[in-house]
Amino acid sequence: MAVFWLIGIVLALAAAGLVLGRARALACVGGDARGLHSRPVYHGWTVAVAVLGPVGLVLTFWLLVQPLYVGAVVSAMLGDSADPRGLLLAEVRRAAEGLEAAVETGVIPAALAEDARADAAEITRRLKAAGQVVTSDLTAPVLRAAQRTLALNASGDRAMAGVVLAVALAGLVLALRRIAPAFRARPVVERDLRALLIAAASIAVLTTLGIVLSLVFNTVGFFRLYPAAEFFTGLDWAPSFSGRGGASDLGVLPLLWGTLYISVVALAVAVPIGLFAAIYLSEYAAPRFRALAKPLLEVLAGIPTIVYGLFALLTVGPLLMRVFGEAGLGWMQSGTAVITAGLVMGIMLIPFVSSLSDDIISAVPQALRDGSYGLGATRSETIRQVVLPAALPGIVGAILLAASRAIGETMIVVLGAGAAARLSLNPFEAMTTVTAKIVSQLTGDADFASPEALVAFALGMTLFVLTLGLNVVALVIVRRYREHYE
């Protein structure tokens, strides 16, 4: 709450700086803006940036460092304890939060909460009565540590508010004094703006990096507990949860096989249909029909995949059962199978293939078609021998993009393909994929120190490397074979 108000005040100061800076710039040349190096509004912005920039840095730094400092102090207070340090610290944090909430709602007087000689049992009783969850009774050291946490945080927040306001005011005053007719305000603002843009771009990149690093570290952790050779070459997937005891078989091959099999079925559905649709839309359809049909096709891409999953489970599965199941040909045991998930996933991928390919085919210059027609080629000859080869790199890129979507797809597989990990060639059998198993390994009560949970990260890493590789291949193909048209 305090931080919220602080930011509000700083923003108000910055807004004031914007207006004041502009006015001051105009005033110092007697109202004639042509006497200034930069337009008045740039002078205003230098003031606003001088307020916001340093405050942003100070605030970020402070908010990061204060919890670390408090944690270190409290940790030193507790000294060496038999309890695992992490659990004890978590308990202190919960107690501190409980105390703070209780004081705010008035259940415990502030004086009692801060009293260094307050009785631990008394506080526990009052906290429990107030509904502030305290799982076990507070011990005296924990209570003292919690009280110290609160005190440190309170003084820290006060100091932060003081420092931030001082920095903001100093920035305001200094920037206002800097304004002069010859002051080059525009380059300053543009430099700051560029810094802002760079920061925005780096956040995206750094987040990606962070995700990859967390995957890598947890994967390494998993390989400490479980041999990598068995993970990559194991033919069985049979995790046993700690409750049942015994060792797990965590071989990735059955899952990879399921992933690739279902993806291949999906692409076998999506690529011909999508490509033919794209050729029709770009080469044959009347413009008015295309304008109507293309957005409709793209609506398919907007359907949440869980809805496709339901479609697989409730419609496609039973339909296939009627033909291939017990009542029909007798090849299928249940509605959830590779073929079900593959068909539905293929339908999901059609708009990816068709829409991208349509754009790519339409981008082939009309001059090439004219050249072909001018030689007496028919429309289909032109499409097969000139337009499609010219568009091929882009189409391959679109297909690989669809393939990486298929490999990463989860919900359709969870609902449509079953949960059995097996190595089989029969498309009418249930199989499962890497993504579906990541879900099942991490849902429920997962103990993040066991190989059964950590394997999810190794699976995620495998998937990441696989799709990354596909994307790289797609990029290379598109780059190498792309024709440059003016």
Partner 1 sequence: MFDAPHPTLATPTTPPTRTDPKIAACNVDVHYGTTHALRDVSVEIEDRTVTAFIGPSGCGKSTFLRCLNRMNDTIDSARVTGVILLDGEDIHDRRVDPVQLRARVGMVFQKPNPFPKSIYDNIAYGPRIHGLARSKADLDGIVERALRRGAIWEEVKDRLQASGTGLSGGQQQRLCIARAIATEPEVLLMDEPCSALDPIATAQVEELIDELRASYSVVIVTHSMQQAARVSQKTAFFHMGRLVEYDATSKIFTNPEDARTESYITGRIG
- The secondary structure of 423-435 as a DSSP string is --S-TTS----HH
Size of the site for partner 1 (CB under 8 A): 22
Task: Return the DSSP state at 117.
Answer: T
Between residue 193 and residue 252, which ones bind partner 1 under the rule CB under 8 A? none
Phi and psi based region of residue 168 (left: phi greater than 0; alpha: psi -120 to 50; beta: remaining): alpha
Closest alpha carbon to 47 in 3, 15, 76: 15
157 counts as binding partner 1 under rule CB under 8 A? no
Q: Are 449 and 242 in contact (CB under 8 A)?
A: no
Task: Return the DSSP state at 33.
Answer: G
Q: Which tokens sit at 251?
A: 């071989």
Q: In degrees rounded to 5, what are phi and psi of residue 117?
A: -105, 15
**Element (DSSP H or E) covering residue 154:** helix 140-178
Cβ proximity to partner 1, 185 vs 364, nearer residue = 364
Cβ proximity to partner 1, 104 vs 483, nearer residue = 483
Cβ proximity to partner 1, 117 vs 288, nearer residue = 288
d(CA 26, CA 34): 10
484 counts as binding partner 1 under rule CB under 8 A? yes
Cβ proximity to partner 1, 286 vs 327, nearer residue = 286
Helix, strand, coil content of the chain in percent (nearest 5): 75, 0, 25
Looking at the DSSP bridge assignments, the partners of residue 250 are 237
Between residue 340 and residue 399, which ones bind partner 1 under the rule CB under 8 A? 365, 367-378, 381, 385-386, 389-390
483 counts as binding partner 1 under rule CB under 8 A? yes
Question: In angstroms, what is the minimal distance from the CB of 384 to partner 1?
Answer: 10
Cβ proximity to partner 1, 122 vs 370, nearer residue = 370
What binding mask, one character per residue, do residues 285-324 give for partner 1 by CB under 8 A, x or -?
A: -xx-------------------------------------
Question: In angstroms, what is the minimal distance from the CB of 441 to partner 1?
Answer: 48
- The secondary structure of 323-374 as a DSSP string is HHSTTTTS--SSS-SHHHHHHHHHHHHHHHHHHHHHHHHHHS-HHHHHHHHH
Cβ proximity to partner 1, 64 vs 286, nearer residue = 286
Question: In angstroms, what is the minimal distance from the CB of 293 to partner 1?
Answer: 17
127 counts as binding partner 1 under rule CB under 8 A? no
Cβ proximity to partner 1, 390 vs 463, nearer residue = 390
Question: In angstroms, what is the minimal distance from the CB of 230 to partner 1?
Answer: 49
Between residue 247 and residue 286, which ones bind partner 1 under the rule CB under 8 A? 286
Residues that bind partner 1 (CB under 8 A): 286-287, 365, 367-378, 381, 385-386, 389-390, 483-484
